[in-house]
């Protein structure tokens, strides 16, 4: 129920903001708006503001909305109202009205990111865990326990890195562009010892994203001590005698420096033999014999001990003043927009998997999970979806705002509007493309649900 509510609130807000952008600019430009609808189908609720010509409607199906304006192409218009018809307004006015919807979504994202930046939140410090074997981070010589002070793409000025989330953003952006990332690092055990390294992402295979991408990069999670947490009843950990709070020092003589290294060791323990675990329990050092169980996960054999691994990572409070927060929100919105377009382009040319397309089921799941983590996570989710909605609507596809802007570009260049015959063909083609995208997204949703 909470997931459904979070999804409805998110969808309602983003659609309302989008349509309000169209509505507000249309009214400001003197165009008569007949209906402002959130949702399609039979109206559930309708009302009018006193002295206003617009009917406001909430439809039965909330997967979209529309603003219906006076237009001679759709119905006869009284002579005294022709100056208020959309089709009779100058080209620049019509383009501004169409553009206002996506821009409203992007502006909402700027505000949401800005609010989160200003209010602040507790975030994991950018302290590195042991790099993944064979990864870019390992090849660059990154070490467990190092603190990332600053980062920048090569050729740009270094910027302070205040949290692990900021570090992941630098890594994601630079890796997807196949560029080089400079990191300024400080060894935690040697206060003041600072060095610079360069991560070269030019050799990463194109089209990788998410967890797969970060395995290639080699920086998966912030540093945390290899401490045993909650233990499942009847698990390998319980049978071996491990207890919550045990600090794992070594396994078979190999030192365990952090929780990430320990989790990877356990996952790769598929040989089925006893291991010698040295742990610290209070003031005692104990030697425990443990045999990880081997499970099959999606066709891959992995080791499991049935216990949570890792102490909570070190955190710090990260916030900005009002102006910095707003500028940061603008920058983040721009960067997410560029990455979204780049990913769409890669999917179009086959460099990225179509599995990245998500439909309403996945979005609803993310909405519920983000809401459970707190209002800050939910605001960040709303900002990300708002950017996606804004960028998607700017694509030059008929049926979308970007398609109408494409028509207006043609009109601006040639001096004449697109013919009705061509308009009909393009609308049909656009509908086919959108239905295909929606079908793929829904298929991906079902596959994720069944996994």
- pLDDT per residue over 377-406, tens digit each? 899 989 999 999 999 899 888 888 988 899
For residues 308 and 274, membership in a common domain is answered with: yes
Q: How many CB atoms lie within 10 A of CB 57?
A: 20
Comparing 360 with 126, the larger pLDDT belongs to 126
Range of the domain at 141: 136-217
For residues 281 and 371, membership in a common domain is answered with: no
For residues 246 and 209, membership in a common domain is answered with: no
**What mean pLDDT do residues 6-32 have?**
91
Angle between helices 322-349 and 91-119 (to 10 degrees): 120
For residues 150 and 202, membership in a common domain is answered with: yes
Q: How far apart are the first and last CA of the chain?
A: 22
Q: How many domains does the chain have?
A: 3
pLDDT at 201 over 90: no
Q: Would you state the pLDDT for residue 350?
A: 65
pLDDT band, very low/low/confident/very high, at 60 (cuts 50, 70, 90): confident
**pLDDT tens by residue, 226-248:** 999 999 999 999 999 999 999 99
For residues 181 and 258, membership in a common domain is answered with: no
For residues 1 and 112, membership in a common domain is answered with: yes
Angle between helices 360-373 and 420-450 (to 10 degrees): 60
Distance CA 359, CA 373 (A): 22
**What mean pLDDT do residues 43-65 have?**
86
Q: Could you say which of 261, 281, 313 is where a domain stops?
A: 313
245 in any annotated domain: yes
Q: What is the CATH number of the domain that holds 299?
A: 2.30.42.10
* DSSP reduced 3-state for 400: coil
270 in any annotated domain: yes
Q: Would you state the pLDDT for residue 68?
A: 93
The percent of residues in the chain predicted with pLDDT above 70, rounded, is 94
pLDDT band, very low/low/confident/very high, at 368 (cuts 50, 70, 90): confident
For residues 396 and 333, membership in a common domain is answered with: yes
Let me know if 153 is a catalytic residue: no
Catalytic residue among 19, 132, 150, 208: 19
The residue behind tokens 């009705």 is 420
pLDDT at 4 over 80: no
For residues 357 and 297, membership in a common domain is answered with: no
pLDDT at 209 over 70: no
| Burial category of 443 from C-beta neighbours within 10 Å (exposed 0-12, middle 13-18, buried 19 and up) | middle
Q: How many CB atoms lie within 10 A of CB 381?
A: 21
For residues 171 and 284, membership in a common domain is answered with: no
For residues 292 and 323, membership in a common domain is answered with: no
205 in any annotated domain: yes
**pLDDT tens by residue, 339-349:** 888 777 777 76
Distance CA 308, CA 237 (A): 10
For residues 374 and 263, membership in a common domain is answered with: no
Q: Could you say which of 186, 217, 248 is where a domain stops?
A: 217
Q: How far is CA 338 from CA 58, 89, 387, 390, in A?
A: 33, 32, 10, 12
pLDDT band, very low/low/confident/very high, at 207 (cuts 50, 70, 90): low
- Is residue 225 within 8 A of residue 144, CB to CB? The reply is no
405 in any annotated domain: yes
For 9, half-sphere exposure in the C-beta direction (CA atoms, 13 angstrom radius) is 16
56 in any annotated domain: no
**pLDDT tens by residue, 73-125:** 888 888 888 899 998 899 999 999 999 999 999 999 999 999 999 998 889 99
Q: Would you state the pLDDT for residue 449?
A: 66
Q: Could you say which of 269, 298, 313 is where a domain stops?
A: 313
237 in any annotated domain: yes
**What mean pLDDT do residues 435-446 have?**
75
Q: How many CB atoms lie within 10 A of CB 19?
A: 20
266 in any annotated domain: yes
443 in any annotated domain: no
The percent of residues in the chain predicted with pLDDT above 90, rounded, is 45
pLDDT at 44 over 80: yes
Distance CA 284, CA 286 (A): 6
Mean pLDDT, the chain, whole residue set: 87
Report the C-alpha dihedral over residues 66, 67, 70, 73, rounded to 10 degrees: -30
What is this structure's pTM?
0.81
For residues 238 and 330, membership in a common domain is answered with: no
């Amino acid at each position: 129920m909470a997931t459904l509510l979070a999804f409805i609130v998110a969808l309602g807000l983003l659609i309302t903001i989008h349509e309000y952008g169209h509505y507000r600019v249309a009214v400001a430009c003197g165009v008569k708006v007949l209906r402002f609808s959130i949702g399609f189908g039979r109206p559930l609720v309708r009302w009018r503001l006193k002295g206003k010509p617009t009917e406001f409607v909430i439809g039965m199906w909330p997967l979209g909305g529309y603003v219906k304006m006076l237009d001679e192409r759709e119905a006869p218009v009284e002579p005294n109202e022709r100056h208020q018809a959309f089709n009779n307004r100058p080209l620049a006015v019509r383009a501004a009205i169409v553009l206002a919807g996506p821009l409203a979504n992007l502006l909402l994202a700027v505000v949401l990111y800005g609010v989160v930046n200003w209010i602040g939140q507790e975030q994991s410090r950018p302290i590195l865990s042991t790099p993944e074997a064979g990864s870019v981070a390992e090849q660059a010589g990154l070490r467990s326990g190092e603190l990332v002070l600053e980062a920048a793409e090569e050729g740009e000025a270094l910027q302070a890195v205040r949290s692990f989330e900021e570090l992941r953003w630098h890594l994601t952006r630079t890796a997807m562009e196949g560029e080089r990332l400079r990191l300024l690092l400080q060894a935690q055990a040697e206060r003041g010892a600072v060095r610079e390294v360069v991560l070269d992402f030019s050799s990463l295979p194109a089209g990788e994203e998410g967890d797969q991408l970060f395995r290639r990069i080699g920086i998966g999670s912030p540093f945390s001590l290899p401490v045993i947490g909650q233990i499942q009843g009847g698990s390998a950990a319980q049978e071996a005698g491990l207890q919550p709070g045990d600090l794992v020092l070594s396994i078979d003589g190999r030192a365990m420096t952090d929780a990430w290294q320990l989790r990877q060791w356990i996952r790769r323990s598929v040989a089925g033999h006893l291991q010698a675990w040295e742990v610290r329990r209070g003031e005692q050092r104990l030697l425990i014999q443990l045999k990880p169980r081997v499970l099959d996960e999606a066709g891959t054999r992995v080791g499991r001990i049935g216990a949570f691994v890792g102490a909570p990572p070190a955190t710090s409070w990260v916030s900005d003043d009002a102006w910095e927060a707003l500028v940061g929100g603008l920058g983040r919105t721009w960067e997410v927009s560029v990455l979204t377009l780049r990913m769409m382009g890669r999917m179009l040319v086959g460099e990225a998997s179509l599995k990245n397309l998500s439909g309403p089921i996945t979005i609803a799941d993310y909405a519920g999970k983000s809401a459970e983590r707190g209002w800050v996570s939910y605001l960040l989710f709303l900002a990300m979806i708002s950017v996606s909605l804004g960028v998607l609507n700017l694509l030059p596809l008929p049926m979308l705002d970007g398609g109408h802007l494409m028509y207006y570009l043609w009109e601006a260049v040639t001096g004449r509007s697109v013919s009705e015959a061509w308009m009909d063909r393009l609308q049909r083609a656009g509908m086919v493309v959108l239905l295909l995208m929606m079908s793929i997204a829904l298929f991906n949703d079902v596959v994720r649900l069944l996994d």
